[in-house]
Amino acid sequence: MIPATFDYVRPGSLDEACQALASDEDAKALAGGQSLLPLLRLRLAYPSTLVDLGRLPELTGVHDRGDHVFIGAMTTHDEVMRSSLVNSACPLVALTTATVADPAVRHRGTFGGSLAHADPAADLPAVVLALDGVLVARSAEGEREIPAAEFFVDYLESALRPGEILLGARIPKLGDGWGYHYEKFHRTAQAWPIVGVAAAVRRSNGSIQEARIGLTNMGPTPLRARAVESALQGAELGDQVRQACEQAAEGTSPSGDLHAQPDYRRHLARVLTHRAIRTAAGSP
Amino acid sequence: MPRITVTVDGVGYEEEVEPRLLLVHLLRERLGKTGTPVGCDTSNCGACTVMLDGKTVKSCSVLAVQADGCDIVTIEGLGSPGSMHPMQRAFHEEHALQCGYCTPGMVMAAIDLLRDTPDPSEEAIREGLEGNLCRCTGYCNIVRAVRRGAQEMGQAVKSS
Ligand SMILES: Cc1cc2nc3c(=O)[nH]c(=O)nc-3n(C[C@H](O)[C@H](O)[C@H](O)COP(=O)(O)OP(=O)(O)OC[C@H]3O[C@@H](n4cnc5c(N)ncnc54)[C@H](O)[C@@H]3O)c2cc1C
Ligand code: FES
Ligand code: FES
């Protein structure tokens, strides 16, 4: 279908972009358009104005900031997964991004758009949550930082206020000794996960010292599998890890849809968490 | 109405466009480039794939205004019936199409894959084409065609 009419502005500076968004509450930011344009084509959204962030170079790129990496909101999925800095300092982001959509969508879709859209089925929110990322937003009033744990508020709803632009996210570097994996379950090649599990594991001498686990599509927002994280502390690879992962669905509230009923999603969360932890810990 | 300039298949155009005009509709309805079809309403099928500044995009999921100043190559810019691009010829020779609806997008995605992976394995081809759906062929001949196209393009590079 052809989208309904809207106005279009392409600001040349961040200040202009903030003003354009602040002056009209029905205006929307346009990043890669890979979620927004399908919504407009299906006439599920009717913004008055699209504020195109596509020509603001200050929003793109990946920067080494010592203890963390800053990924600009308008950096495309393709750029993120190819970045040597992201691959070395936060591999979980790189390897998860490589599972998002398909090459053509990754050429347009952006890191920030994936977070701002706050879709519980999107892969990157669970990763940023598991890594305790911090999102940075800017409005006419100035900049503010939002921890990932507070950013995802509800289904398709983030903590961004009207008029705020996401500048990017800080991803803490975890340092040596960590292993990573993103376990994504989907039935067709280029697809959203039915359930996804992001895992980072620090391991020594055959047992797990620390684990961080983010769940995709197990509720209206991405979730941490906190019960599993604490049960894994000091767990030995093998039965102890398997038992710990049995708690993966605790505190979740998955929805039922065309692809899966809630009980099936809970089952998947347990199975996929176990797979993700085993792979991240490097044990077959 | 916004005024944009684009280069499509080597020719420059200046057009006044409604903001909601999709790139694929600019190509098909304004510029007559009907070689690029529309296969879905959900950005899934990849039939509409073109190159935008050298990288594949789904032209149904880009606004024409977003392409302002860009260089676009469609299937029509790759070759012509008398002098086909090696990848087009490989699709023809390997019978990699039945209805042909997915073919323009498949060919663009295949060429994009070869930028990084000039000699792709079967698995790399299947992954590289994951955003392009074919309802007819079952993909086997498409994978064969991409292997053959890759070999011919590689030889063309060596002999030039
Ligand atoms: C066929 C297909 C398959 C896909 N498969 C997957 C998948 O497997 N996994 C997955 O995670 N995603 C998938 N996606 C979605 C893709 O990752 C999108 O790129 C992403 O969800 C949105 O990013 P975007 O840059 O395109 O944002 P847009 O579509 O431009 O914007 C999305 C929303 O975020 C807002 N927004 C964007 N950027 C900012 C900003 N900087 N500040 C404030 N607000 C902003 C917009 O206003 C809009 O509301 C798929 C998409 C398609 C079309
Ligand atoms: S028509 Fe563009 S993806 Fe289907
Ligand atoms: S040949 Fe018919 S869709 Fe591919």
CATH of the domain at A71: 3.30.465.10
Query: What's the Cα-to-Cα distance from B126 to each of B33, B38, B110, B123, B145, rounded to whole Å?
Result: 28, 22, 10, 5, 12
Q: What CA–CA distance (Å, rounded) separates B17 from B66?
A: 11
Interfacial residues of A (vs B; Cβ cutoff 8 Å): 1-8, 10, 30, 33-34, 37-38, 40-42, 50, 52, 54, 78, 101-105, 107-108, 189-190
DSSP code string of A160-194: PPTT-EEEEEEEE---TTEEEEEEEE-SSSS---S
Domain of residue B143 covers 86-159
| Gap from CA of A108 to ligand 1 centroid (Å) | 9
CB within 8 Å: A104 and B49: yes
Average pLDDT rounded to a whole number, residues B32-57: 97
Interacting residues of A175 by C-beta distance below 8 A, sequence separation 6+: none
Q: What CA–CA distance (Å, rounded) separates A36 from B16?
A: 23
Count the domains in chain B.
2
Percent of chain B with pLDDT over 70: 97
Domain-located, residue A2: no
CB within 8 Å: B19 and A6: yes
Interacting residues of A94 by C-beta distance below 8 A, sequence separation 6+: A80, A81, A83, A86, A87
Task: State the pLDDT at residue A1.
Answer: 80
3-state secondary structure of A100: coil
Interacting residues of A188 by C-beta distance below 8 A, sequence separation 6+: none
DSSP code string of A141-156: TEEEEEEHHHHEEETT
Assess whether the C-beta atom of B5 lies below 6 angstroms from ligand 2: no
| Gap from CA of A150 to ligand 1 centroid (Å) | 19
Among B50, B77, B104, give the residue marking a domain's end. B77
Res. A66: pLDDT tops 80:
yes
Q: What CA–CA distance (Å, rounded) separates B15 from B124?
A: 39
Residue A151 CA: which ligand is closest?
1
Atom of ligand 2 nearest to the CA of B61: 2
Among B48, B77, B106, give the residue marking a domain's end. B77
B60 and B110 co-located in one domain: no
B106 and B135 co-located in one domain: yes
B85: tokens are 């691009």
Task: State the pLDDT at residue B159.
Answer: 64
B147 and B93 co-located in one domain: yes
User: Which CATH number characterizes residue A245's domain?
Assistant: 3.30.390.50
B71 and B7 co-located in one domain: yes
CB within 8 Å: B20 and A78: no
A45 and A78 co-located in one domain: no
A283: tokens are 């044990």
A192 and A106 co-located in one domain: no
B27 and B61 co-located in one domain: yes
Domain-located, residue A1: no
ipTM of the complex: 0.96
Res. A252: pLDDT tops 60:
yes
Assess whether the C-beta atom of B74 lies below 6 angstroms from ligand 3: no
| Gap from CA of B7 to ligand 2 centroid (Å) | 21
Q: What is the 3-state secondary structure (H, E, C) of chain B?
A: CCEEEEEECCEEEEEECCCCCEHHHHHHHHCCCCCCCCCCCCCCCCCCEEEECCEEEEHHHCEHHHHCCCEEECHHHHCECCECCHHHHHHHHCCCCCCCCCHHHHHHHHHHHHHHCCCCCHHHHHHHCCCCCCCCCCCHHHHHHHHHHHHHHHHHHHHC
Task: State the pLDDT at residue A187.
Answer: 85
For chain A, the straight-line distance linking the first and the last C-alpha, in angstroms and rounded, comes to 48
Assess whether the C-beta atom of A110 lies below 6 angstroms from ligand 1: yes
Task: State the pLDDT at residue A90.
Answer: 96
Domain-located, residue A105: yes
- Burial class for A26, CB neighbours closer than 10 Å (0-12, 13-18, 19+): exposed
Q: Please state the φ and ψ torsions of residue A181, each to the nearest 5 degrees.
A: -160, 145
**pLDDT tens across A149-164, in order?**
999 999 999 999 999 9
Count of residues in chain A = 284
Q: Among B22, B40, B44, which is best to mutate for testing ligand 1, by the most ligand atoms less than 8 A from CB?
A: B44
What is the maximum span of chain B, computed from C-alpha positions, in angstroms? 49
Interacting residues of B64 by C-beta distance below 8 A, sequence separation 6+: B4, B6, B15, B17, B21, B22, B23, B25, B26
B65 and B110 co-located in one domain: no
CB within 8 Å: A102 and B2: no
Contact by Cβ (8 Å): B56, B112: yes
User: Which CATH number characterizes residue B22's domain?
Assistant: 3.10.20.30
Domain-located, residue A72: yes
Which helix H or strand E contains A41, and what residues bound it? helix A36-41
User: Which CATH number characterizes residue B93's domain?
Assistant: 1.10.150.120
A120 and A161 co-located in one domain: yes
Domain of residue A239 covers 179-280
CB within 8 Å: A37 and B61: yes
Q: How many of the other CB atoms lie within 10 Å of CB of B73?
A: 19
Residue A146 CA: which ligand is closest?
1
Res. A189: pLDDT tops 80:
no
| Gap from CA of B19 to ligand 2 centroid (Å) | 19
Count the domains in chain A.
3
Chain B residues close to A2, C-beta within 8 Å:
20, 22, 25
B51 and B21 co-located in one domain: yes
Task: State the pLDDT at residue B144.
Answer: 98
- Burial class for B91, CB neighbours closer than 10 Å (0-12, 13-18, 19+): buried
Task: State the pLDDT at residue A175.
Answer: 86
B46 and B99 co-located in one domain: no
| Global pTM value | 0.97
Res. A191: pLDDT tops 90:
no
B70 and B94 co-located in one domain: no
A106 and A134 co-located in one domain: yes
**pLDDT tens across B84-133, in order?**
999 999 999 999 999 999 999 999 999 999 999 999 999 999 999 999 99
Least confident of A29-38, B9-18, B150-159: B150-159
User: Which CATH number characterizes residue A46's domain?
Assistant: 3.30.43.10
A97 and A163 co-located in one domain: yes
**pLDDT tens across A200-224, in order?**
999 988 899 999 999 999 999 999 9
Domain-located, residue A144: yes
Assess whether the C-beta atom of B45 lies below 6 angstroms from ligand 2: yes
Assess whether the C-beta atom of B66 lies below 6 angstroms from ligand 3: no
Res. A133: pLDDT tops 70:
yes
Average pLDDT rounded to a whole number, residues A230-253: 97
Q: What CA–CA distance (Å, rounded) separates A218 from B78?
A: 45
Assess whether the C-beta atom of B39 lies below 6 angstroms from ligand 2: yes
**Tokens 């952006």 sit on residue:** A110
Size of interface A-B (CB pairs under 8 A): 88
Amino acid sitting at position A261: Q
Interacting residues of A52 by C-beta distance below 8 A, sequence separation 6+: A8, A9, A10, A11, A30, B65, B66
B44: tokens are 């899934």
With an 8 Å Cβ cutoff, is B138 touching chain A?
no
Mean pLDDT of chain B, nearest integer = 96
CB within 8 Å: B55 and A189: no
Among B20, B46, B77, give the residue marking a domain's end. B77
Average pLDDT rounded to a whole number, residues B26-32: 98
B109 and B71 co-located in one domain: no
Chain A residues close to B126, C-beta within 8 Å:
189
